[in-house]
Amino acid sequence: MTDKPKFRIEKIDDCRWRIPQTGKMQVDGIVYTSERMLPHLQQDDTLKQVANVAHLPGIIQHSLAMPDAHSGYGFPIGGVAAFDMDEGVISPGGVGYDINCGVRLMRSNLSYHEIEGHIRDLVAALFQNIPCGVGSKRKDLKLSANTERQVLTKGAEWAVAQGFGSERDILHIEEHGCIAGANPEVISKRAYERGRPQLGTLGSGNHFVEIDYVEEVFDSQIAATLGLEKDHIAITVHTGSRGFGYQVCDDFLQEMLKASQKYGIELPDRQLCCAPIHSEEGQRYFAAMACAANYAFTNRQIITHWVRETFERVLERTPQELQMDLVYDVAHNIAKFETHLIDGKERKVCVHRKGATRAFPPGHIEVPEAYRAIGQPVLIPGDMGRCSYVLVGTEDAMSDTFGSTCHGAGRMLSRTAAKKQAKGRAIWREMEDQGVIVRSDGRATLAEEMPEAYKDVSEVVDVVHHSGISRKIVKLRPIGVIKG
């Protein structure tokens, strides 16, 4: 990574930094980070992209970046921005290519010691049962054109109706696993073709299914409400809308470039192409994005079912014995219409979260009833060698970040740089020496996703915890991972 000139930035406190409004910026930029992690943000285009987002019409209060931020397409990954419904815009760059890439967490009645001798068998069986890798397909789950349209409009409910899980799962998914407003009519033929064979697959890159155990509990009362006990097993699923979502983004970037010119929107970067929220183009994009989001919710629901089946078969336990209940499922890449308190008044706004997690507080109507007293669960996966965290949302998140927090560790190295650094190393063996059994579709994926490629998730989580935009509840330690 080459050094870049330092972008002007002012310290607010130990967790927040300001990019002052200059030129045609509509608002300041606010970056959540620590002094130790700040230099990395100054080496890529993250700060520049935060400032660029602040140029967009109708942006409200701040252009935000979370502590796991790094440069992305248009918006930084880890970026959050809210836009006025009348004067604001919606932008594919503020959601990203992997629409509704997200994470779900399951708990279990199993202790670490109960499965210690079965981890290798569980990882092998998960790898066999859940298709991984670029272009991976599930041979025994074939969708007709009509069925695929049902997936796009019904989301996770469709999967449950087919026997993949239960209605109880739906209660613990963001938006109950279905974004309203999806319209299959705006989806291209190519997107349909790419989506049809890939439902129920993990994909490649940083997507994974991970077996963890609860290593540390920071708040035992809230952990108990979530069903998480020290030394007990939990399973994390991280994936999104696969080739379908990628194609939706690609299709609409072309439309949005034309729309930006049509509506006279001055862009500091073409990758921020956008359209007014209420324009025909803006509504079409939202309807297509909702389709992709619902595909992703369905994808994670089906994978969850196969994870449960795998554990039942390998461990020869019944569902009642395992109690592999869904704790929660959150979206990381999404644009949503939400109501927030702005300058003392409730306003409906369009919140873009790109590599960021919703973090609604206790009492919020959109938090599942089972968790309403504690706040929305926030799931923060780390790299495959260190740890992950479960947090809950807070009132400070609602007032400071539009109910948002970080989404993971955040990359330190590009995939190319990671592969170069991993040359000659057996990453799988290094992981095994650390007590983590890993299976992947190829060596390149393990090189790209090695722990050194990421920031330390503990440092990232400490920033959001100390800034008050989410609270640490438990720490998870990986013991088995499958990747694309």
* Bridge partners (DSSP) listed for residue 390: 379, 474
For residue 79, say whether it is annotated as part of any ligand binding site: no
Buried/exposed code over 417-431 (b: 16+ C-beta within 10 A; e: otherwise): ebbeebeeeebbebb
For residue 483, say whether it is annotated as part of any ligand binding site: yes
Distance CA 205, CA 201 (A): 13
Secondary structure (DSSP) of 365-387: TTS-GGGTTT--EEEE---TTS-
In the chain, the N- to C-terminal Cα span, in Å, equals: 26
- How many C-beta atoms surround the C-beta of residue 203 within 10 A? 27
For residue 297, say whether it is annotated as part of any ligand binding site: no
**Where does 343-435 show beta strands of DSSP type E?**
345-354, 357-358, 377-380, 388-393, 404-405
Among the listed residues 55, 70, 407, 465, the single catalytic one is 407
For residue 333, say whether it is annotated as part of any ligand binding site: yes
Distance CA 149, CA 289 (A): 14
Cα angle at 470 between 350 and 82, to 5 degrees? 15
For residue 78, say whether it is annotated as part of any ligand binding site: no
Distance CA 91, CA 352 (A): 8
Q: Is there a catalytic annotation at residue 407?
A: yes
For residue 238, say whether it is annotated as part of any ligand binding site: yes
For residue 388, say whether it is annotated as part of any ligand binding site: yes
Q: Which two tokens stand for residue 386?
A: 């260190």
Distance CA 443, CA 429 (A): 11
Q: Which contacts qualify for 376-380: CB closer than 8 Å, 24 or more apart?
A: 376/328, 376/330, 377/105, 377/226, 377/327, 377/328, 377/330, 378/330, 378/405, 378/470, 379/103, 379/104, 379/105, 379/236, 379/327, 379/328, 379/330, 380/405, 380/406, 380/407, 380/408, 380/457, 380/460, 380/461
For residue 383, say whether it is annotated as part of any ligand binding site: yes
Distance CA 208, CA 483 (A): 5
Q: Which two tokens stand for residue 422?
A: 């991993």
For residue 332, say whether it is annotated as part of any ligand binding site: yes
Give which of 467, 464, 365, 477 is closest to 407, Cα–Cα.
464
For residue 210, say whether it is annotated as part of any ligand binding site: yes
Please tell me what DSSP assigns to residue 29.
E
Q: Are 227 and 209 in contact (CB under 8 A)?
A: no
For residue 363, say whether it is annotated as part of any ligand binding site: no
For residue 299, say whether it is annotated as part of any ligand binding site: no
For residue 410, say whether it is annotated as part of any ligand binding site: yes
Q: Are 32 and 70 in contact (CB under 8 A)?
A: no
Please tell me what DSSP assigns to residue 443.
H
For residue 403, say whether it is annotated as part of any ligand binding site: no
Q: Which residue positions form the known binding site for GMP?
A: 206-210, 332-333, 381-384, 388, 407-410, 483
Give catalytic residues, as residue numbers: 407
Q: Which residue positions form the known binding site for Mn(2+)?
A: 98, 207, 238, 332
Q: Which residue positions form the known binding site?
A: 98, 206-210, 238, 332-333, 381-384, 388, 407-410, 483
